[in-house]
């Protein structure tokens, strides 16, 4: 329904009389909704908005009026309104330009030029150099004599409608100025061409390149339009040490070419390195399948506390790159110093992948390194025990069990600690640490007589509740009575201080009558001293008790009554079990240290093939990966195997500590090697990364500039 205009105006006037500007403006706007070209009402609303402090809204209404008058050819009326606008907003370019156009239409060239100069000055004060340049182009059209002859001719051609011809001529002029070393004149000509044809890629590319040469990177960015051009500008920003600007320009390069994986990787690395995880996550959104990007996603999620998402990303990484779980292991070791649980999420997933690939020794090595960084981490210790059992790494398993038992004790998990402590005690009851650990578990469980339990275990009266499956028989089978009557043995005191009179002592246990005398054995050779020998008739084991030469005692294996062992007997038992420990040590996985040393020796002897094999095995160890990978890269480079050299040099760089001289050297060599192999984009990315960390390293700036020209 149409409104009553007069009634609405009266209502608006009442509101004005009451000082209610908002309500008055609302009434006027009801009129404008039906009659948008009611210019007197538009003007009234504009005045009210200015009075209400809403200058921007007022200027908008006045601009509508002025533009209408201008379009209809009512230049004086339009000029009056534009002047009103400039009084309210002196930086209003639209009003200033229209004032110049009106003056030009009226043949007032001087007024038009003055208006344009004011607009240009205001733009320069705002830092809008491109906008100011546009105004100067208009000034040139007003007075062509201000430019050179060739430039004037080109602009004249454009004025006659031959814009394309004018642009071609301007590019020729710019090239000639460039040959003569007249950089400013060349830039001026190209700017004019860019104004005539803003979408002309050849003009923009040439102008951006010349602006980079001139050092005007801010202007160069304005004219760049292709990903390659943005990356050249980013390289220059990196060369100046302006990392923030470089990252912004690289983002624009990626916007132009979203499929550019190298640029995306570089951005992710930079954002993660700066702990700017929000930006990194934006780049990693969607269905990411690239392994390096997935690795960045793993770190981003874990370092922002998103553990489940981080584990899921880690699983995707090992699925996409089954042979690169060592990179995930390396990330876990690095994260361990910042967030133990984040580091374990990587280590755990990487260990599972290593086990699935049959490399249990590498899984154990990675877990071992982690628990050395994060002592007492129960899940990691449990995982390491599991891997050691599957791999048959007996010595490592026993050591890890001890650490796990200690961790359980530290956390108050007495039952779990007792199970493991008793298992270790059963294996090596002569070790004081095993006795003490077992005692602590018993005390924590509330055992009223822990010393009695320990004595029972040692005497054989109560069997151990745990059996060492790594050995062929348990300690209980060895804890049989000695043939002679043993003296009583004092059970070791508990850790807490006790009165001397209260120290419990295990009583002597009677021993059955000794069997018939046996012929004295012939003395064992020196090399066999202290080693057990089995009797083929009754299965007894003879143990050297450390007495006089030729003095031996017999330990029966026929199920006789057990007794508490004297110290000499325990010393003999220790020598017995040394044999078992030696056997367990032989079953431990490959010794990476020995492999590395042997590989170095073989390489010196010229046996390169065998050296390569051993270096590759040594590289599975996190401890020796850096040295082994570096040697492999050097060998393959010498042999002309570029692909293999690049791969191992990348692994060495990943294994080195960021920011060190060693890391810088590896990145530099990798960049040059990639460039030699023709992988310019990857080389540029590596060298740019190096420059971001060490701007003055060697001639990295020159190498980047050289590669940028090729890309």
222-235 pLDDT, tens digit each: 888 888 888 899 98
Residue 90: its pLDDT value, please?
81
Average pLDDT over residues 302-317: 92
pLDDT confidence bin for 132, thresholds 50/70/90: low
| Residues 629-661: tens digit of each pLDDT | 999 999 999 998 988 999 999 999 888 888 898
| Residues 354-393: tens digit of each pLDDT | 999 999 989 999 999 999 999 999 999 999 999 999 988 8
| Residues 534-579: tens digit of each pLDDT | 333 333 333 333 333 333 233 332 333 333 334 443 444 344 344 4
Q: How many domains does the chain have?
A: 2
Query: With the CA atoms of 588, 383, 290 and 675 taken in that order, what torsion angle do they form, in degrees rounded to the nearest 10?
Result: -40
Instruction: Measure Cα distances from 145 to 142, 153, 156 in Å.
Output: 9, 10, 11
Q: Indicate whether 147 belongs to any domain.
A: yes
Rounded to the nearest 5 degrees, what angle is found at the Cα of 83, between the Cα atoms of 80 and 87? 140
Q: Indicate whether 242 belongs to any domain.
A: no
| Residues 655-704: tens digit of each pLDDT | 888 889 899 999 999 999 999 888 888 888 889 888 888 888 999 888 88
Q: Indicate whether 128 belongs to any domain.
A: yes
Q: Indicate whether 694 belongs to any domain.
A: yes
Residue 559: its pLDDT value, please?
35
pTM: 0.44
Distance CA 527, CA 204 (A): 87
For residue 438, which phi and psi values (nearest 5 degrees)? Answer: -65, -40
Q: What percent of the chain has pLDDT over 90?
A: 23
Residue 17 scores a pLDDT above 50: yes
Higher pLDDT among residues 450 and 31, named by residue: 450
Q: According to the per-residue pLDDT averaged within each range, which of 51-65, 300-314, 608-622 is highest? A: 300-314
Instruction: Measure Cα distances from 364 to 46, 208, 380, 651 in Å.
Output: 78, 55, 10, 20
- Pull the structure tokens for residue 621: 């160890």
Higher pLDDT among residues 149 and 418, named by residue: 418
Q: Please say whether the beta carbons of 144 and 163 come within 8 A.
A: no
Higher pLDDT among residues 25 and 146, named by residue: 25
Spell out the long-range contacts of 12-16 with Cβ–Cβ below 8 A and sequence spacing 24 or more. 16/48
Give Cβ neighbours of residue 658 (< 8 Å, ≥ 6 apart): 273, 693
Q: Please say whether the beta carbons of 45 and 17 come within 8 A.
A: no
pLDDT confidence bin for 134, thresholds 50/70/90: low
Distance CA 495, CA 381 (A): 25
> DSSP letter string over 526-586?
GGGTT--EE-TTT--EEEE-SSSTT-EEEE--S-PPP-PPPHHHHHHHHHHHHHHHHHHHH
Q: Outline where 89-226 has alpha helix (H).
A: 93-105, 109-125, 129-142, 149-159, 163-179, 183-196, 201-213, 217-223
Residue 140: its pLDDT value, please?
53
Residue 488: its pLDDT value, please?
43
Distance CA 164, CA 166 (A): 5
Residue 380, number of CB atoms within 10 A of its CB: 28
Residue 505 scores a pLDDT above 90: no
Residue 463 scores a pLDDT above 60: no
Q: Please say whether the beta carbons of 353 and 318 come within 8 A.
A: yes
Q: Indicate whether 279 belongs to any domain.
A: no
Higher pLDDT among residues 404 and 521, named by residue: 404
Q: Indicate whether 235 belongs to any domain.
A: no
Out of 144, 173, 198, pick the residue that ends a domain.
Answer: 198
The domain that contains 181 carries what CATH number?
1.25.40.10
* Mean pLDDT computed over every residue of the chain: 77
Residue 582, number of CB atoms within 10 A of its CB: 10
For residue 543, which phi and psi values (nearest 5 degrees)? Answer: -125, 130
Residue 567: its pLDDT value, please?
43
Q: Indicate whether 405 belongs to any domain.
A: no
For residue 13, which phi and psi values (nearest 5 degrees)? Answer: -65, -40
Average the pLDDT over each of 31-40, 449-458, 587-596 and give the range with the smallest value. 587-596
- Going across the sheet that includes 533-534, the strands are 533-534, 541-544, 552-555
Out of 152, 180, 198, pick the residue that ends a domain.
Answer: 198
Q: Please say whether the beta carbons of 153 and 169 come within 8 A.
A: yes
Out of 161, 179, 198, pick the residue that ends a domain.
Answer: 198
Residue 461: its pLDDT value, please?
54
Residue 198, number of CB atoms within 10 A of its CB: 11
Q: Please say whether the beta carbons of 44 and 52 come within 8 A.
A: no
Rounded to the nearest 5 degrees, what angle is found at the Cα of 259, between the Cα atoms of 256 and 264? 85
- Pull the structure tokens for residue 220: 């160069």
Average the pLDDT over each of 205-219, 305-319, 424-438, 457-471 and give the range with the smallest value. 457-471
Q: Indicate whether 48 belongs to any domain.
A: yes
Could you tell me the residue range of the domain that residue 43 belongs to?
5-198
| Residues 401-422: tens digit of each pLDDT | 999 999 999 999 999 999 999 9
Distance CA 113, CA 96 (A): 11
Residue 31 scores a pLDDT above 70: yes
């Amino acid at each position: 329904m149409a409104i009553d205009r007069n009634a609405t105006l009266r209502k608006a006037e009442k509101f004005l009389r009451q000082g209610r500007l908002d309500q008055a403006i609302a009434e006027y706007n009801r009129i404008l909704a039906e009659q948008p070209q009611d210019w007197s009402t538009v003007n009234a609303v504009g005045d009210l908005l200015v009075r209400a402090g809403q200058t921007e809204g007022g200027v908008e209404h006045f601009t509508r009026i002025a533009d209408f008058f201008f379009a209809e050819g009512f230049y004086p009326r339009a000029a009056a309104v534009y002047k009103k606008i400039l009084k309210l907003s002196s930086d209003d370019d639209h009003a200033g330009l229209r004032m110049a156009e009106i003056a030009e239409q009226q043949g007032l060239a001087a007024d038009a030029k003055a208006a344009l100069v004011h607009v240009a000055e205001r733009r320069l004060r705002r830092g809008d150099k491109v906008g100011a340049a546009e105004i100067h182009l208009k000034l040139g059209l007003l007075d062509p004599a201000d430019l050179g002859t060739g430039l004037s001719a080109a602009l004249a051609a454009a004025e006659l409608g031959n814009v394309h011809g004018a642009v071609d001529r301007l590019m020729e002029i710019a090239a000639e100025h460039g040959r003569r070393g007249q950089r400013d004149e060349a830039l001026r000509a190209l700017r004019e061409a860019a104004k005539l044809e803003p979408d002309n890629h050849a003009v923009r590319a040439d102008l951006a390149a010349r602006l980079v040469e001139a050092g005007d990177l801010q202007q160069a960015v304005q004219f760049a339009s292709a990903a390659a051009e943005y990356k050249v500008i980013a390289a220059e920003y990196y060369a100046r040490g302006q990392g923030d600007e470089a990252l912004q320009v690289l983002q624009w390069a990626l916007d132009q070419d979203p499929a550019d994986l190298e640029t995306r990787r570089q951005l992710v690395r930079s954002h993660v390195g700066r702990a700017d995880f929000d930006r990194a996550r934006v780049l990693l959104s969607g269905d990411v399948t690239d392994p390096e990007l997935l690795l960045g996603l793993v770190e981003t999620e874990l370092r922002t506390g998103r553990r489940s998402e981080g584990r899921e990303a880690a699983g995707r990484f090992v699925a996409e790159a089954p042979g690169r779980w060592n990179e995930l292991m390396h990330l876990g070791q690095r994260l361990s110093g910042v967030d133990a649980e984040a580091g374990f999420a990587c280590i755990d997933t990487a260990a599972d992948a290593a086990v699935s690939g049959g490399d249990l020794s590498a899984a154990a090595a990675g877990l071992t390194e982690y628990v050395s960084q994060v002592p007492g981490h129960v899940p990691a210790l449990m995982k390491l025990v599991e891997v050691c059992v599957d791999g048959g790494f007996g010595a490592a398993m026993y050591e890890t069990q001890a650490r796990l038992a200690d961790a359980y004790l530290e956390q108050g998990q007495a039952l779990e600690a007792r199970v493991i402590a008793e298992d270790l005690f059963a294996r090596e009851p002569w070790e004081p640490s095993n006795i003490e650990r077992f005692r602590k578990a018993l005390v924590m469980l509330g055992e009223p007589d822990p010393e009695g339990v320990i004595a029972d275990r040692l005497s054989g009266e109560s069997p151990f509740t745990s059996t060492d499956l790594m050995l062929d028989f348990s300690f209980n089978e060895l804890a049989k009575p000695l043939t002679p009557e043993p003296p009583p043995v004092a059970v070791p005191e508990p850790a807490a201080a006790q009165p001397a009179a209260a120290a419990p002592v295990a009583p002597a246990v009677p021993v059955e009558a000794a069997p018939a005398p046996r012929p004295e054995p012939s003395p064992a050779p020196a090399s066999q001293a202290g080693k057990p020998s089995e009797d083929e008739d009754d299965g007894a084991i003879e143990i050297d008790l450390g007495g006089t030469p030729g003095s031996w005692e017999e330990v029966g294996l026929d199920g006789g009554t057990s007794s508490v062992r004297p110290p000499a007997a325990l010393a003999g038992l220790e020598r017995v079990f040394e044999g078992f420990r030696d056997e367990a040590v032989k079953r431990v996985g490959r010794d990476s240290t020995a492999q590395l040393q042997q590989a170095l020796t073989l390489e010196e002897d010229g046996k390169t093939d065998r050296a390569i094999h051993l270096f590759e095995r040594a590289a599975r160890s996190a401890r020796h990966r850096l040295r082994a990978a570096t040697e492999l890269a050097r060998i393959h480079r010498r042999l002309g195997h570029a692909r293999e050299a690049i791969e191992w040099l990348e692994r060495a760089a990943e294994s080195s500590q960021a920011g060190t001289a060693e890391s810088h050297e590896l990145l530099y060599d990798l960049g040059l090697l990639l460039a030699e192999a023709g992988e310019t984009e990857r080389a540029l990315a590596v060298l740019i990364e190096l420059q971001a960390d060490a701007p003055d390293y060697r001639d990295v700036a020159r190498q980047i500039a050289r590669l940028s020209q090729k890309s």
